[in-house]
Structure formats: C-alpha cells, structure tokens
Amino acid sequence: MELTTVWFALIAILWAGYFLLEGFDFGVGVLLPVLGRDNRERRLMINTIGPVWDGNEVWVIVAGGATFAAFPEWYATLFSGFYLPLLLILVALIVRGVAFEYRGKRDDDRWRRRWDLCIIVGSLVPAVLWGVAFGNIVRGVRLDADHEYVGGFFDLLNPYALVGGLTTLALFTLHGAVFLALKTDGEMRERAGKLAARLIVPVIVIAAAFLLWTALAHHDVAGWILMGAAAVSLVAAVPAIRARREGWAFLATAATLVLAVFALFVTLFPNVMPSSIADANSLTVTNASASPYTLKVMTWVAVACTPIVLLYQSWTYWVFRKRLSVDRIPASGGHA
C-alpha cells in the first residue's frame, strides 16, 4: 500500500477519534443550560469532562499536524479557503478552555454565569462548524487550476453543508447526554437518560437525511456500506437508551460517529479536496502529498509514539472511570 494512502487513512482515524472523544465534550457543553439547574449541577457536568477534555483536543492538533506534514497542499488550501470558519472554531475552543479554568476562580453567581455562557457557545460553535467544514470537503469547493479556493464565505453555507453542521450538532448533543448518563449518578443520571431517550428519534432523522444525501450524491459502494453501518449503530442505541444501559448506548453512539467519519473519508478518496469547477482541479492523495522520504520518516515517528499516547490516554480514562454525583459537590466556592 502506498504511504499516501496510509496517511490518508491515519488522518481519517485521527478525525474519527476526535469526533468520538471531543464529541461528548461538546455535547456536555451544549447541554449545560438544559440539564444544569443550579451551580452544583453545572459543576457536576463540567467535572465529568474536566480530567479529559484537553487531552481529547490533542486529536485535532495531531490531525492538523499530520495533514500539514503529509499533505501540505491540502493543508494550505484548506486553511486559506476555510480561514474564517476555522478561525471561529479556534476562538471558540480557546474561550471554552479559558472558561473551564476561570469559572470557579470567584464565588460569584454572575461571574460563573458569564463563563458558563462561554462554555456553551464554545461548544456549540465547533459542533456546528466542523460539520459544515466536512460537508464542504465532501461536496467539493471552488478550486481553480492552481488549487486555490476562489469561492467566498457564503459559498460554504450551502444546504448540504448546513445539514452536515446540524447533523454533527445533533450527534454530539446525543453523545453528550449518553455520556452524562454513563458518568453521573442520582437525579442527573435519570434526567440525562430521559433527555437522550427524547433526542434519539430526531437525531436519527437528521443523521439519516445527511447520510442519504451523501450516498445519493456519491456512488461509492464502500461508503454506502459504512453509512449503513453507522445508521444501524445509531438505531441500536434506541433500545439501549430506553433500557438505561448507558454503557451499550455510549458504545452505539461512539460507533455511529466513528463509522460516519470513515464513510465520509472513504467517499472522498482518492480526493482530499474535490473541485466543484473541474475534476482536474481537485486535490488528491497524489498531487497534495509530501515527498516519499517525508512520509517514511513520519511513519516511523507515528509507529514509535502512537502506542505511548494511546496507553496514556486510556490510563487517564481508567483512573477517572467512576461515576460522579452532585452530593460530592460543595454548595458554593471552589473550582469548577
């Protein structure tokens, strides 16, 4: 197998891991005003992701770095053409990270409400814009013969991409509700489970619409199979959620996100960024890749470092595996 194909697959795995892990982070943030009735409950929600959210963001940093090193032409075109939405995502992630650190610095309700709003917006904006970005990548954008993006910002806000943004928001919100039901106990667990049960049918409808639109627009058998598997996984979450089997429900929503990302990348291959102007203008794994020597060095580095990162992150989740309850949250004061 060519190293260009290997690195395309590795980047797909990195994005799948990011959507799986950061997806429930975003979901928890979006649900903060829905499930968090008071400061103690909101602190409980934040504490479920407190030990892991920054580690989860490493996946997108590595995905961006791998794209820059393995496919520099793709990276350059992507970050120049999608500059504004990617900047909005970056600002949202920065504000969200600062809010996690600062909301508990003062024992003041107004102070905490402002930082809670930053967490909500900092979760909502990326949850939508990642779907919009990937929708445009799969659909194709206006690239000229020099592989330069010649469209405008509003060209990115087409119906297909907007449905993609709604889909990621819906899936992440459901994933976050299931995660909260899995990680908490008592009343929060009950409310999160009931909310997940109410969300599952609308999420299935939205996700099915996006996957069907993608399948009809791209006649790729492997992509169809993966989209079908993603749909089956999402439907399988229904009985698990209703039976309060949070572990199985989380595995089902996690599998849905991973399979959906794989389906989009398989549908995209061998392109990395199709041109909607002319097929000859498209960026592919061949014309966008770095030199063979660069890919070879990167492969050896990845082989050496990836197991260490995976073991460390797995150990982190194992250490913080226990359920949390609002009874352990002080009535006031302290950090978030």
Residue 284's DSSP bridge partners are 271
**b (16+ CB within 10 A) / e for 42-76:** bbbbbbbbeebbeebbbbbebbbebbebbbebbbb
∠ at Cα 313 (308, 319), nearest 5°? 125
Asked if residue 77 lies in contact with residue 273, where contact means CB atoms within 8 angstroms, the answer is yes
Whether residue 3 is predicted with pLDDT greater than 80 in this model: the reply is: yes
Whether residue 335 is predicted with pLDDT greater than 70 in this model: the reply is: no
Tell me the per-residue pLDDT of 261-273, one tens digit each, with 9 for 90 and over. Answer: 999 999 999 999 9
pLDDT at residue 11 in the model: 95
Whether residue 117 is predicted with pLDDT greater than 90 in this model: the reply is: yes
Tell me the per-residue pLDDT of 199-213, one tens digit each, with 9 for 90 and over. Answer: 999 999 999 999 999
% of the chain with per-residue pLDDT over 70: 98
Closest CA to 76 of 287, 256, 248: 287
pLDDT at residue 208 in the model: 93
Distance between start and end Cα atoms, the chain: 48
Q: Which DSSP string do the residues of 106-155 spell out, in sequence order?
A: S--HHHHHHHHHHHHHHHHHHHHHHHHHHHHHHH-B-B-TTS-B---GGG
> Which position has the higher pLDDT, 153 or 249?
249
Whether residue 334 is predicted with pLDDT greater than 50 in this model: the reply is: no
Q: Which amino acid is at 116?
A: D
Whether residue 98 is predicted with pLDDT greater than 90 in this model: the reply is: yes
**b (16+ CB within 10 A) / e for 129-160:** bbbbbbbbbbbbbbbeeebebebeeeebebeb
Quickly state the pLDDT bin for 1 (edges 50, 70, 90): low
Whole-angstrom distance, CA of residue 277 vs CA of residue 95: 37
Tell me the per-residue pLDDT of 272-314, one tens digit each, with 9 for 90 and over. Answer: 999 999 989 999 999 999 999 999 999 999 898 888 888 988 9
The pLDDT of 118-138, averaged and rounded, is: 95
**Other residues' Cβ atoms within 10 Å of the Cβ of residue 218:** 18
Whether residue 150 is predicted with pLDDT greater than 60 in this model: the reply is: yes
> Which position has the higher pLDDT, 167 or 312?
167
Structural domain boundaries of the chain?
3-195+269-328
Whether residue 68 is predicted with pLDDT greater than 50 in this model: the reply is: yes
Task: Please provide the average confidence, as pLDDT, over all residues in the chain.
Answer: 92
Asked if residue 30 lies in contact with residue 86, where contact means CB atoms within 8 angstroms, the answer is no
| 3-state SS class at 290 | coil
pLDDT at residue 328 in the model: 79
Joined tokens for residue 299: 């492969």
Whether residue 18 is predicted with pLDDT greater than 70 in this model: the reply is: yes
Quickly state the pLDDT bin for 332 (edges 50, 70, 90): low
Whether residue 188 is predicted with pLDDT greater than 50 in this model: the reply is: yes
The pLDDT of 173-192, averaged and rounded, is: 95
